[in-house]
Amino acid sequence: MSLFSNLSSLADKTLAGEESVFVLTDRNVEKALSPLWEESAILGGAKRMVVEAGEESKDISTLASVWEWLSRSGATRGSVMVNVGGGMVTDLGLFAASTFKRGMRRIVNLPTTLLGMVDAAIGGKGGINVGGLKNEAGVFNPAVERITDTAPLLTLPREELLSGYGEMLKSGLIASPYLYTRLTRDIELYLENPQRLSRDVEETVRIKEDIVARDPFEKGERKALNFGHTVGHAIESLLMERGKGVPHGIAVAHGLLVEIILSHTVLGFPSAELYPYSEMLKEWFPRLPLGCKDTDPLLDIMTHDKKNRATSGLINFTLLREAGRFEIDCELEREEVATALDIYRDLTAAL
């Protein structure tokens, strides 16, 4: 029994009978999961394209090379695409496969990171970055399938685990106070034994899938999933511009604190729950290089987020009344957000 036995049989069962299978992965994942290619007859026997690891591959030229590879390798509309990797691979592969010959019949995500398992690989969003803007081109494809097993988590560095952890914290905050409490209380245990996250991963997936099923095209309730992301995305973009890229879910974990502060000031989110979060963030998550002079650039990025209407100048948030009770479309003035960023810096400064 190798680490990947369970995953291999799961994959072979899901893909049983498929004769035309195409696998997209990246160089790091291909190596970290090398036993998988031996153990799974179908994944090992499939045609495989390996792209460079890293967000840089989520671009137009890599998208073009995936289309060209599928075309050259004889993929048809009836073929199956399996995206094996983190969010970069599943986003890129879902977009490429959803548009190859106007859409392949089966598209399967096999997430290998915690962030992928709980977020990127579910919900049917695929896309690439254009002109430095994240997911500026892409598709919604709710028909995407998923194969999840926590074994690959043992191959990840801690930073990658924390990135997924940030999204799990968000899911708990918007929909399950119990999940949220377990995650904040047991973070040390989980980071040391990530396979123990299985049950919580399943719950996080169910939370997202339920919300997505009720609102597949992000008309309303799905905006709940953006909690922590208005600020999180802005932090991520700003640091990326400066060449100090930070994993998505770590930016989100920091964004969550800012938006919990806003939830407190705007909707009365209980302060008793604010401090445990900021303590956990300080103890376990990396500190980010953000100072007072970054407030304006962050606010500028938030104002241009694709979830905002172009003209109002207000910034759109999902906020919480308490853990498990969210409110979408809270439109705030820049000043209110600037104040929350000040409080965030005070709370996280005493490291």
Quick one: tokens of 272? 């008793």
CB of 125 to its own copies, least distance (A): 7
CA Rg value for the chain:
20
Q: Which position has the token pair 């890229």?
A: 245
Considering the rule CB under 8 A, would residue 310 count as an interface residue with its own copies? yes
Q: Between 140 and 284, whose beta carbon lies closer to its own copies? A: 140
| Distances in whole angstroms, Cα of residue 277 to Cα of each of 69, 81, 231 | 46, 40, 16
Considering the rule CB under 8 A, would residue 78 count as an interface residue with its own copies? yes
User: Which residues ranging from 34 to 63 are in contact with its own copies (CB under 8 A)?
Assistant: 60, 63
Q: How far, in Å, CA of 81 to CA of 37, rounded?
A: 16
Considering the rule CB under 8 A, would residue 303 count as an interface residue with its own copies? no
Residue among 54, 103, 276, 313 that touches its own copies (CB under 8 A): 103
Q: Between 60 and 349, whose beta carbon lies closer to its own copies? A: 60
Considering the rule CB under 8 A, would residue 101 count as an interface residue with its own copies? yes
Residue in 329, 351, 323 with CA at minimum distance from that of residue 260: 323
User: Which residues ranging from 225 to 264 are in contact with its own copies (CB under 8 A)?
Assistant: none
How many Å separate Cα 11 from the centre of its chain? 22
Q: Between 50 and 137, whose beta carbon lies closer to its own copies? A: 137
CB of 301 to its own copies, least distance (A): 14
DSSP letter at 197 equals G
Quick one: tokens of 342? 């000040």
Q: Between 151 and 301, whose beta carbon lies closer to its own copies? A: 301
Contact letters for its own copies, residues 123-162 (x by CB under 8 A): --x-x--xx-x-xxxxxx----------------------
Amino acid at 224: A
The continuous run of DSSP H or E covering 283 comes out as helix 274-284
Give the number of other Cβ atoms within 10 Å of residue 269's Cβ. Answer: 22
Q: Between 272 and 310, whose beta carbon lies closer to its own copies? A: 310
Residue among 2, 38, 45, 64 that touches its own copies (CB under 8 A): 64
Considering the rule CB under 8 A, would residue 20 count as an interface residue with its own copies? yes
Q: How far, in Å, CA of 326 to CA of 311, rounded?
A: 25
Considering the rule CB under 8 A, would residue 72 count as an interface residue with its own copies? yes
Q: Which position has the token pair 């970055």?
A: 129
Q: How far, in Å, CA of 141 to CA of 90, rounded?
A: 12
Considering the rule CB under 8 A, would residue 309 count as an interface residue with its own copies? yes
Residue in 190, 309, 170 with CA at minimum distance from that of residue 251: 170
Q: Between 142 and 268, whose beta carbon lies closer to its own copies? A: 142
Give the number of other Cβ atoms within 10 Å of residue 28's Cβ. Answer: 17
CB of 49 to its own copies, least distance (A): 14
207, 239 contact by CB (below 8 A): no
Residue among 100, 165, 227, 326 that touches its own copies (CB under 8 A): 100
- Residues that bind its own copies in the complex, under the rule CB under 8 A: 20, 60, 63-64, 67-68, 71-72, 74, 76-78, 95-96, 98-103, 125, 127, 130-131, 133, 135-140, 306, 309-310
